[in-house]
Chain A
Amino acid sequence: MTNNSFFQIALYVITLLVLAKPLGWYMARVYEDEPVWLNRWLTPFEALIYRLSGVNTKQEMRWTDYAIAMLVFNLLGFFAVFGLQSLQASLPFNPQNLPNVSPDSAFNTAASFATNTNWQGYGGEVTMSYLTQMLGLTVQNFVSAATGMAVLVALIRGFIRRKADIIGNFWVDMTRSTLYILMPLSLVLALVLVGQGVVQTFKPYQTVPMMETVSYGQPKLGADGVALQDAKGNPVMETVETKGQTIAVGPAASQVAIKQLGTNGGGFFNVNSAHPLENPTPLSNFLEMLSILLIPAALCYTFGVMVGDTRQGWAILAAMTLVLVALIFVAVPAEQGGNPALAALNNVDQSANATQSGGNMEGKETRFGITNSAIWSVATTAASNGSVNAMHDSFTPIGGMVPMWLMQLGEVIFGGVGSGLYGMIMFAIVAVFVSGLMIGRTPEYLGKKIEAYEMKMAAIVILIPPLVVLGGTAIAVMVDVGKSSVFNPGAHGFSEVLYAFSSAGNNNGSAFGGLSANTPFYNAMLGLAMLLSRYWLAVPVLAIAGSLAAKKIVPVGPGTLPTHTPLFVVLLIGTVLMVGALTFVPALALGPVVEHLQMLGVASAK
């Protein structure tokens, strides 16, 4: 690692932590309905929204009602995205005349964007009309993020309230998340990104001349438009020349801003934030990367403020940050180390110096280099964002294992907006329970006794994603339709499948892109995985919220395990890593670990 690598990492982590407190403080005021600066403009507007939709803000919900409201609202989003894709050919704002999306792909994408996963089985610029991108995908980017934040706030209320049977109003929480937090931040970020060069236009794609003419082969089509075949059945090729380049543009900045801030991750273009028109400069890269973790980090502080003890929030943020930084220091050197297979060619300079970043540059952009590509890969999988600025499939085995494992940890190291922290609180509940067993103390967290019901629900939350990930991977590698989509040979091919299910089964959305996932098999399997691991987690979390709210608050006594201390931070990290390691080490051994050993073996044999 170079000095500059250390500097870039420090700059990123410190900026993130500095911003966590002010934004966290602001969000706490929003959720507690305290006055904020934006009230001047937004309060009348917010009141109008409630009046039109018949929402009584004073009427709070039991956890069951809260869950049903959340599910109904998400179901509508699912159908809207599915419908828009299925009809886009006959709808306006489709300047490229893109056809309707196939039903299996439309199902996958609808599930993907409703669940805040934003897995992309499709290539944006060749599949989605401007209308689908805006009215379908951008909308879900906002409301799926707001859904996660609402569920988190409901859970926090479960800790604050005593002997209550209501945990807030889903409509209010969702509306305030969108109106006061996500939209203002997105508006500012989108404009800064445009200033850096992200496109924002409704014009059709632009064709520009190229300096050199390029000739390439393509299958020759007959008069009927079908590819011609020779006597042996091989396609007949013809050489064509092109002097021009068609540049895909569109309303990208508005979508990119919320995809980063709302831990969504679904790019406007196929290669996501590696695309120069989606992430044009190192500064845009820094801001997009910061936005990935900004709200998840700040929500830790919000949590601390709302439960009346900011140390509780800092403790969780400390646990998340420690794991994040440790894994950045695994990923960056792995990528900087380069590829031994090329070193064996003796003709490639992979060393880092003042004039190049060196390292494993396959799938990476020059303006970001090794360090900022590796930091992004860790941040985007620590959070359940899933946007990429480099192709994870081309990372070194260890460099690719880090993002894969971060997803498998359950998306609780920052995680999704709202969902990451409520997932982490589940691990905190397990941690106090386990330590309670070890030292004979009554398990309690933030003054609430943790009993059998909470443990059952927390266990469901923690166990469903591994079941979906490992079960799905096992099925996919046993059937031919699963195996035929694999692109790279050997252990890396297995990693592609494991990565896909880790991503879908934890609502991340990033991919080892070599896997041809836009097939009926993967569209269906991964779509189901995303739905299962979003709602079967959110509903038990709300059940815990309801159960906790009904309990009285136990005063702190000599038997209480303090949950704001470095000891608890260690316990919490230990619980997360233990579950993640025990569950996934065997599968990782078959993929990235084997490949890493093979890579070293091949290099030393030469």
Chain B
Amino acid sequence: MIKHLQPAVILFVIFTVLTGVVYPAIVTGLAQLLFPHQANGSLMTDSNGKIIGSNLIGQPFSDPGHFWGRPSATGPFPYNAGASSGSNLGPTNPALADAVKARIEALKAADPNHKAPVPVDLVMASGSGLDPHISPAAAEYQINRVAKARHIAPEKLRALVEANTEARQWGMFGEPRVNVLALNLALDANH
């Protein structure tokens, strides 16, 4: 055992430096050089250069005049990007059905005349609690409410939603989706 101790200790130190210092430093250096925007959190700025949020991190919305994002299970407030978390509610947990029911009621209360069933991603919490996207169906569902709150034609909103909808990446990966924060920023800027 003793004869193995010397190579073990020295190799451990070497690999700690190599994989724990040199490797992350090289990746950081190249990342900051090649992709500074992405490497620092894809932060968006307004026309004055002020940071107004991250393109990849959702924000909480409850104003009827904004599009709402996925329900978020982070604590102590939704979309706490300092402590990501899912709800971990099991499929048969009554608390899950109750939470979904409450979310449906909130959506219906904000738009009483809308009778269509709610797209599922709008009433089920995301995995990260920070999901920046909703499905195109979930955006379409909310057009009626936002249009009424802002007194603008639904067609104008539909065009805005389409402009903020991303198709499957390269036409094949993942799912189509709408960036809620980008959509709401565009909404506030244009209307």
B4, A389: Cβ atoms closer than 8 Å: no
Q: Least Cβ distance of B102 to chain A in Å?
A: 11
CA distance A344 to B80 in the complex (A): 31
A187, B27: Cβ atoms closer than 8 Å: yes
Interface flag for B175 (CB, 8 Å): yes
Q: Which of A25-33, A239-247, A522-530 contacts B (4 or more CB under 8 A)?
A: A239-247
B87, A72: Cβ atoms closer than 8 Å: no
A199, B41: Cβ atoms closer than 8 Å: yes
Interface flag for A604 (CB, 8 Å): no
Interface flag for B21 (CB, 8 Å): yes
Q: Hey, which chain A residues are within 8 Å of B96, CB to CB?
A: 339, 341, 362, 394
Q: Least Cβ distance of B116 to chain A in Å?
A: 8
With A73-B8, A135-B16 in contact, is A356–B136 under 8 Å at CB? yes
Q: Hey, which chain A residues are within 8 Å of B184, CB to CB?
A: 211
Q: Mark B118-142, 1 if CB is under 8 A from A, else 0.
A: 1111011111111111111110100
A191, B34: Cβ atoms closer than 8 Å: yes
Q: Hey, which chain B residues are within 8 Å of A80, CB to CB?
A: 12, 16
With A214-B77, A247-B54 in contact, is A77–B12 under 8 Å at CB? yes
Q: Mark B1-24, 1 if CB is under 8 A from A, else 0.
A: 100111111111011101111011
Within 8 A of B (CB), among A342-393: 342, 344-350, 353-369, 372-373, 388-391, 393
B53, A209: Cβ atoms closer than 8 Å: yes
Closest to A358 in B: B120
A211, B59: Cβ atoms closer than 8 Å: yes
Interface flag for A206 (CB, 8 Å): yes
A11, B172: Cβ atoms closer than 8 Å: yes
CA distance A143 to B8 in the complex (A): 12
Q: Which of A224-232, A409-417, A482-490, A547-555 contacts B (4 or more CB under 8 A)?
A: A482-490
Interface flag for A90 (CB, 8 Å): no
Q: Least Cβ distance of B56 to chain A in Å?
A: 4
A488, B89: Cβ atoms closer than 8 Å: yes
Q: Hey, which chain A residues are within 8 Å of B149, CB to CB?
A: none
A198, B175: Cβ atoms closer than 8 Å: no
Tally of contact residues, A, Cβ under 8 A: 135
Q: Hey, which chain B residues are within 8 Å of A354, CB to CB?
A: 176
With A209-B53, A363-B87 in contact, is A190–B27 under 8 Å at CB? yes
Residue among A190, A344, A361 with the highest chain B CB neighbour number at 10 A: A361
Interface flag for B113 (CB, 8 Å): no
Q: Least Cβ distance of A139 to chain B in Å?
A: 4
Q: Least Cβ distance of A329 to chain B in Å?
A: 19
Q: Hey, which chain B residues are within 8 Å of A217, CB to CB?
A: 76
With A126-B82, A199-B39, A492-B92 in contact, is A171–B7 under 8 Å at CB? yes
Q: Hey, which chain B residues are within 8 Å of A580, CB to CB?
A: none
Q: Hey, which chain A residues are within 8 Å of B173, CB to CB?
A: 8, 281-283, 285-286, 372
A280, B42: Cβ atoms closer than 8 Å: yes
From the candidates A208, A356, A602, name the one contacting B138 in the complex (CB within 8 A).
Answer: A356
A598, B41: Cβ atoms closer than 8 Å: no
With A201-B32, A242-B77 in contact, is A514–B90 under 8 Å at CB? yes
Residue among A353, A355, A356, A395 with the highest chain B CB neighbour number at 10 A: A356
From the candidates B15, B28, B90, B93, name the one contacting A178 in the complex (CB within 8 A).
Answer: B15
B97, A342: Cβ atoms closer than 8 Å: yes
Closest to A362 in B: B124
CA distance A215 to B47 in the complex (A): 28
Within 8 A of B (CB), among A534-572: none
Closest to A139 in B: B20
B34, A195: Cβ atoms closer than 8 Å: yes
A341, B91: Cβ atoms closer than 8 Å: yes
With A197-B56, A347-B118, A356-B135 in contact, is A52–B169 under 8 Å at CB? no
Interface flag for A220 (CB, 8 Å): no
With A201-B40, A356-B121 in contact, is A175–B128 under 8 Å at CB? no
With A245-B79, A274-B86, A339-B91 in contact, is A348–B39 under 8 Å at CB? no
Interface flag for A470 (CB, 8 Å): no
With A280-B56, A355-B137 in contact, is A514–B88 under 8 Å at CB? yes
Q: Hey, which chain A residues are within 8 Å of B60, CB to CB?
A: 210, 212, 214
With A253-B31, A276-B128 in contact, is A271–B16 under 8 Å at CB? no
Closest to A255 in B: B24
Interface flag for B30 (CB, 8 Å): yes
Q: Least Cβ distance of B107 to chain A in Å?
A: 9
B10, A53: Cβ atoms closer than 8 Å: yes
Interface flag for A396 (CB, 8 Å): yes
Interface flag for A221 (CB, 8 Å): no
From the candidates A135, A283, A513, name the one contacting B21 in the complex (CB within 8 A).
Answer: A135
B87, A391: Cβ atoms closer than 8 Å: yes
Q: Hey, which chain A residues are within 8 Å of B172, CB to CB?
A: 7-8, 11
Q: Hey, which chain B residues are within 8 Å of A271, CB to CB?
A: 84-86, 127-129
Interface flag for A69 (CB, 8 Å): yes
A363, B127: Cβ atoms closer than 8 Å: yes
Q: Least Cβ distance of A391 to chain B in Å?
A: 4
B15, A139: Cβ atoms closer than 8 Å: yes
B38, A276: Cβ atoms closer than 8 Å: no
Q: In the A-B complex, list the 9 residue pairs whose CB atoms are closest, starting with the nearest.
A: A282-B174, A274-B127, A369-B175, A514-B88, A282-B173, A356-B135, A488-B90, A391-B86, A492-B90
Supplied contacts A196-B38, A254-B24, A274-B84, 6 more A-B pairs, CB within 8 Å: A135-B21, A212-B61, A277-B41, A363-B86, A368-B175, A369-B175
A-B contact pairs, 14 of them (CB 8 A): A72-B4, A139-B20, A249-B41, A276-B57, A286-B173, A347-B108, A347-B118, A361-B120, A366-B177, A372-B174, A395-B91, A489-B93, A492-B92, A599-B91
Residues of B bordering A, CB below 8 Å: 1, 4-12, 14-16, 18-21, 23-24, 26-28, 30-32, 34-35, 38-43, 51-63, 66, 70, 76-94, 96-97, 100-101, 104, 108, 116-121, 123-138, 140, 168-170, 172-177, 181, 184-185, 188
